[in-house]
Structures are given as C-alpha cells and as structure tokens.
Chain A
Amino acid sequence: MKVIQKFRSWGAGPGSLAVLIVGLVLGVVIFGAGGGFMVYANSEPFCATSCHEMDALKQEHKGTIHDVNRTGVRATCNDCHVPHEYIPNYFAKLGLLSDVWGHWTGSIDSKEKLEAKRYQLARRVWTYMKENDSRECRHCHTTAKMDPDKQTDKAKSRHEKARLEGLTCIECHFSIAHKEPEGPGPQELFSTKAAQK
C-alpha cells in the first residue's frame, strides 16, 4: 500500500509525463545504440581490421572457401566465432573485453608471439566448438538440409561415418580458414574424452 502511494506521488507532478517521455526516448536511444554497436561489432570491418593482431588471421581467411567460392556466399569472423543468439552473443562480447586487455598488454602483437601462442589459441577454439557440437557451423550448415547426393562419394561416406561415431564438424573440418598449428588436432585431443564416455 505504502509502495503504491509512493508510486502515485512520483507520477503526480505536472511535468512527470514530459519526464516520462524524455526517459522513454533516452531508453530507446541507449538501447538502440547498444544494439547498433553489437551489430557493428559483428561486422567484418570491425572484427577483421580494427586491431593489427587480427591482420594475420584476416590474411589467412582470404581466399579460403569461406571467403571466395562458387556462389559468393561467405562466412566472416563472427559467423564462426561468436554465438548467433542474442543474449549469448552479448555475453561473448563481454568476454571479448579480454581481447582489449590482450591488445594493451601486447600478448600477440608480433608475428612471433602469435605463432608461439597459435596452438593454445586454436585448441581453445576447438574445445569450444567440440563442446557445443559445432553450433556456429550448424547455424549456416543445416544438416537436415544437406543433400548427400550432391556431395562427393568420399564426403558422403565420411559424413555417414562421422554420424555413427558421434563426431562433430570441427573434428574433421579444422584449420579450414586459418593456418594449422603444430601439435595434436581436434580428433587426437578429444578421442580420449570419447573413450572415457
């Protein structure tokens, strides 16, 4: 009761409607700007070119099947590397604040440093993709809408085999857009895990 009375008194002033409308506009502008920034932060100009650390990775992506192909339908950075659902996307973006930290502390600011950390970085991405069953791949590649008869015989039989063995996309399709690092690949990394299950 007391709370209701309080609310009533808040809204009782002659100008409160105007203040409410100002607040509404503010809310829309702030929310819109936030959403707009999220869209911008998913774009290729932001992702691929706004820091020099990504230069090397951008160059590796150039000319791969996800950049240039028969139909010109592409996948850019965010298509593979952040969730597509809104809330998870925002969380992922918050996690990317660590990239800002990495940028200022210079953790991969030279070719040598990147190469030294490449395996660790690749492994992190592979683990992430393995754990969510290559969710980002599947956002574009709808398995149910793949036509096996349009695939090569080899691809067709391997996809069949992968299904039987419970493999996920990344276990075979790794380093398709970036340089392959030295060290065990996803299948070696996760096979022990699979055996334990």
Chain B
Amino acid sequence: MPRRVLAKVRRWTAGTRALMVLLAGAALGFVGLSLFGTTMIYTSTEAFCATNCHEMANNTTLEYRDTIHDKNRTGVRAICPDCHVPHSPIPLYVAKMGALNDLWSHHVTHSVDTREKFQAQRPKMAQRVWAYMKGNDSRECRHCHTVANMDPDKQSPIAKARHEKAKKEKLTCVDCHYGVAHEVPDGPGPQELDVDRSLIPRSAIF
C-alpha cells in the first residue's frame, strides 16, 4: 500500500507541469492568506468597528467619544479592538468568528436596532463583557497597561493606595475601572458579579 501511494505521488510530481501547479498553489495560498490577514486588520480598525453599523455608531461610539481612551493629554488612544478583542493572532481570529453573531442580530433578529432596545439589553451586554474581562484577568487592558511599568509615584495618592489595595484583594482592572468608555447600566457592577475564575484554565489565556 505505501509503495503504491509513493508511486502515485512520484507520478504526480514528475515533470515541470507539477512544478507549475505547485507554484500556482503557493500563489493561491499567498493571496488567500493576504486577503484573510487584510480582512482581519481592516475589521479591527475604527472605521469598520465604530461606524459600520448604526447599532455601534449611534450608541457605543457616541458614548466613547471624548472619554479618556479617545482624547487625552498625549493623544495616545485605545479604540474598539484594543479593549474588546484578544491581541494574539489565533484567539483574535476565533473572536472574529464569534462576531459573526453580530451580523446575525444586525440582519435577522434586529436585537439592538433602536435606542430603546439597546438600553434594554445594556445590562446583559455589559455584564457579559465584565465577566469576560474578569475571567481573563483584564487581559486586553493589560495589553497596553503594563503593570510592571506603571510608576505609582506618578499616580495620585488615592490611585496609588487603591491599586495597592486591589493587589492585596486580587481584584482585576475591570472590577473598578468599568463604564470608563460607555454608559454604566443599572444593576450589579463587576465587583458584585460572580465569576468563578478557577473554572478558567490558564491555557485559555493566550
């Protein structure tokens, strides 16, 4: 059996013709991967994320405008994907596949297509994001905010003391820093939310 397979492979790869087909395949691979990569980059831009559908443009984008992550002293910003999707390539692609769900609700279920519907869903959506961030120890925050390179002496005395306290109590960023870019919904905040972090394997945090 293996010898027959080998002979088959040998016959396939014989001649210049096979080389051309191989090169054509490689070119297809290049083009396909580039298109995929470009799509991934484009879908992570502000132009796509913040303004492409009215669900975002009329609600979350407006709320985000002029918050500290949009406008500040130095002009160093964080846009939608900086907080809301993983930064490592493979988890990012998985997250983007999950975002197909947004297409479904935009085109089929119209779940948040008016301000009223959005406000009604807000607690649920906020809690989902908080649970996600608590679950991965605010990984997306920490992608930009490197704790080891924070200078407590440049922070206000109250921030310094609270960060110290948070470290002792094993709180994560979003436990206190919630509603920093969007409206805070009614209902329990992140600290009241119960997330069993022990259930999340460390390997899930890429």
Contact = CB atoms under 8 A, between A and B. Distances in A.
Interface of A: 9-11, 13-16, 18-32, 35, 67-74, 140-147, 150-151
A13 B12 contact: yes
Interface in B124-159: 144-151, 154-155
A67 B149 contact: yes
Given A20-B25, A28-B30, A74-B146, 4 more contacts: A72-B145, A141-B74, A142-B76, A145-B70
A70 B74 contact: no
Given A20-B25, A72-B149, A143 B33 contact: no
A27 B27 contact: yes
Contacts of A73: 76, 144-146
B18 A13 contact: yes
Contacts, number: 131
Given A13-B17, A16-B21, A27-B33, A150 B72 contact: yes
Given A71-B145, A150-B72, A27 B30 contact: yes
Contacts of A142: 75-77
21 contacts: A10-B20, A13-B18, A14-B12, A15-B11, A19-B12, A20-B22, A20-B28, A21-B25, A22-B25, A24-B32, A25-B29, A27-B26, A27-B28, A28-B32, A29-B29, A72-B145, A72-B148, A74-B146, A144-B75, A146-B71, A146-B75
Interface residue SS majority, chain A: helix
Interface of B: 8-9, 11-13, 17-18, 20-30, 32-34, 37, 70-77, 144-151, 154-155
Contacts of A22: 22, 25
Given A20-B24, A20-B25, A28-B33, A71 B70 contact: no
A144 to B, nearest CB: 8
A58 B151 CA distance: 19
A26 B26 contact: yes
B71 A147 contact: yes
A28 B29 contact: yes
Interface majority SS (helix, strand, loop, mixed), chain B: helix
Nearest to B73: A150
B204 to A, nearest CB: 22
B150 A72 contact: yes
A90 to B, nearest CB: 12
Instruction: Count chain A CB atoms within 10 A of each CB in B13, B23, B74, B77 and give the residue with the most.
Output: B74
Contacts of A20: 21-22, 24-25, 28
Given A15-B11, A73-B144, A146-B74, A23 B24 contact: yes
A16 B24 CA distance: 11
